Structure 1
Amino acid sequence: MTTAPRRGVRPARTGSSLPGGKRAAHHPLTPRRGARPAGRTWSGDLYAEALRAGSGPLYLRGPDGGLLPLDVERWCGGPDEADRSVLRRCRGSVLDVGCGPGRMVCELARRGRPALGIDVARGAVERTRRGGGTALLASIFDPLPAEGRWGGVLLLDGNIGIGGDPVRLLHRVREVAAPGARLIVEAAPDQVDERGPARLDNGNGAAGPVFPWARVGTAALRENAARTGWRPVEEWWVADRPFLLLRAGE
């Protein structure tokens, strides 16, 4: 995980298409000063080790000290039934925020759909590229290619918690999304609305640095969406994973 904003952000592979016919490699990126939320991210050694292994154990230790298991093996596999329900609802070019090892970006690429993954973990970006997807080493709070033109945005696997402030995150996603864009968010399976310091933990005595995080259930997500100009269109569950499809105002 990075502990401070980087001087630059690695561009995606040459030749990858972005909205408007642009090429990802033609977008040198330099983060705005103060663009990112304060604090660390979770792209540290424990996460890198889990990605290399393709499995955990890996946990998120929340503000209350409880351990939430992270499904690294699922993230490193192909799309499951729940993921496919998301893929069926994607329209236009898709930005996957916190893409991880890239199962969604790679599947969208295989389907011939323009897609870009962004992640602050170098190992996640490299794995996405090896799988045939296009990815940037970047935060959602960095300047990004094709801002204001993405037809779809994904916040899956708890990534509504990025930065520890869902309202700020949803505002930022509005900036990068096109008018009328679709945002698909995976909420927490319980009705929580919590924000605070978190860290990664491998369950064997090793823990990563503290970073800001949030967890929101469907009710809190709907409230946050209403405050940021996103309109709920559909809610569905697959197994124990709840999703909301939101639309941006025209």
Structure 2
Amino acid sequence: MTAQLAEPALAWRADPYAEALRTGRGPLYLRRGDGWLLPLEVERWCAAPDVADTTVLDRCAGPVLDIGCGPGRLVTALAARGHRALGVDVTPEAVARTVRAGGSALCRSVFDPLPREGRWDTVLLMDGNIGIGGDPAALLRRAARLASPSGSLLVEVAGADVDERVEVHVDDGRGGRGAPFRWARLGTRALCAEAPHAGWTRSLTWQAADRYFVGLRR
């Protein structure tokens, strides 16, 4: 029997994810029902932007919305560059870390009402956040409503040619686990096949430090 799925916001607020953000350390994983593990790079998320992140920051224009901002490394870096930048995350500890670092963030779901809807020049879905909610089509449509008419969406995708919708839970590898929730993983080909149905067209793809990115335009 499949366990009852948690609301995604509640799943991410629960330990061990919140504890990992508080300490800035892993290990932390997304675990599928078959035992497969996806490592979550907590230390990288809590550090300053790296070389790959810089390639994303360099492609941001105008006001920027970071969906699933985590501890806010990109939001704070964008603010330091003079951008109007806002992070959105369902985890209070993520929002608190972002604010402590000097960034702006709201504790709410991307599907909740947000400031400046339809006026963000750049929207970010980094660190696998195209998986939020387990429904990339719905997330892409929502991002299109948030972006300005000439806006762009920068997405970090899986390096593998993958297109999956799965049930996962957060696992710290030491016996701690969160409630199950839906997640998705998309590679470049899968994202580019899905994007036109949500009003996006591919503008560029790039790779940096073994991470993979796709730029979409309205």
* TM-score, length-scaled by structure 1: 0.83
Match of 1:217 in 2: 187
Contact 2:9/2:90 (CA < 8 Å) preserved in 1? no
Structure 2: which 5+ residue stretches go unaligned?
Answer: 1-5
Quote how far apart the aligned CAs of 1:240 are: 1.4
SS at match of 2:69: coil
Q: 2:27 aligns with which of 29, 47, 57?
A: 57
Q: 2:17 aligns with which of 47, 50, 62?
A: 47
Contact 2:15/2:176 (CA < 8 Å) preserved in 1? no
Distance 2:14 2:82 in 1: 32
Match of 1:106 in 2: 76
Indicate yes or no: 2:132 matched with 1:155: no
Distance 2:151 2:11 in 1: 27
SS at match of 2:12: coil
Give the percent of matched residue pairs that are identical in Structure 1 and Structure 2: 57
Indicate yes or no: 2:155 matched with 1:171: no
SS at match of 1:86: helix
* TM-score, length-scaled by structure 2: 0.95
Structure 1: which 5+ residue stretches go unaligned?
Answer: 5-37
Tell me which stretches of 4 or more aligned residues in structure 1 moved more than 3 Å: 38-41
Give CA deviations for 1:115-137 in whole Å, capped at 9, x if unaligned.
00000000000000000000000
Quote how far apart the aligned CAs of 1:91 are: 0.5
Quote how far apart the aligned CAs of 1:204 are: 1.1
Distance 1:189 1:180 in 2: 28
Match of 2:65 in 1: 95
Quote how far apart the aligned CAs of 1:144 are: 0.4
Q: How does 1:170-249 map to 2 (within 5 A)?
A: 170-248=140-218
1:46 maps to amino acid: P
Indicate yes or no: 2:52 matched with 1:82: yes
Contact 2:46/2:71 (CA < 8 Å) preserved in 1? yes
Contact 1:41/1:120 (CA < 8 Å) preserved in 2? no
Distance 1:157 1:192 in 2: 15
User: Aligned residues, how many?
Assistant: 213
